[in-house]
């Protein structure tokens, strides 16, 4: 049986999901990820209330990194880290932006 690598990234495009189901679907998707895996979240607006709910529900176990933050499209990496760095909070990582990928970007908006 093949298992995905712990560095796997899975795209979750919320734009095609009815708004009344989005948060439940997002939480279910996050809870299906293993340590080291990432959900690349695509949305039509900046989901600040959702990010606050994720912080309250999961604490430092979910690292939040914006990859793109435009008026019509937002892309965020939600990375599962069951062992968060000491002193790090979700709000601190959300403001940091993506640091992976080539040329100083995360590679998700290319």
Q: Report the mean per-residue pLDDT for the chain.
A: 80
Residue 83 resides in a domain: yes
Residue 2 resides in a domain: no
Give the pLDDT of residue 103. 32
Least confident of 2-6, 10-14, 32-36, 75-79: 2-6
Residue 70 resides in a domain: yes
Instruction: Give me the domain span that covers residue 23.
Output: 13-98
Structure tokens at 2: 């093949």
Q: How does residue 5 score in pLDDT terms, banded at 50, 70 and 90? A: low
Give the pLDDT of residue 82. 83
- Among 12, 76, 10, 11, residue whose Cα is nearest residue 46: 76
What are the distances in angstroms from CA 17 to CA 20, 24, 42, 51, 58? 8, 11, 11, 18, 23
The total domain count for the chain is 1
Alpha-carbon Rg for the chain in angstroms:
13
Residue 68 resides in a domain: yes
Residue 22 resides in a domain: yes
79, 66 contact by CB (below 8 A): no
Residue 1 resides in a domain: no
Looking only at the bridges linking them, the beta strands covering 38-43 and 74-80 are antiparallel
Residue 85 resides in a domain: yes
Residue 63 resides in a domain: yes
């Amino acid at each position: 049986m093949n298992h995905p690598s712990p560095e796997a990234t899975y795209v979750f495009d919320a734009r095609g999901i009815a708004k009344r189901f989005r948060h439940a679907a997002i939480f279910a998707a996050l809870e299906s990820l293993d340590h080291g895996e990432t959900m690349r979240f695509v949305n039509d607006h900046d989901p600040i209330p959702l990010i606050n709910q994720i912080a309250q529900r999961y604490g430092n176990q979910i690292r939040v990194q914006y990859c793109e933050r435009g008026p019509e499209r937002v892309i965020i990496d939600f990375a599962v880290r069951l062992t968060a760095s000491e002193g790090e909070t979700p709000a601190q990582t959300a403001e940091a932006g993506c640091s992976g990928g080539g040329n100083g970007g995360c590679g998700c908006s290319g």
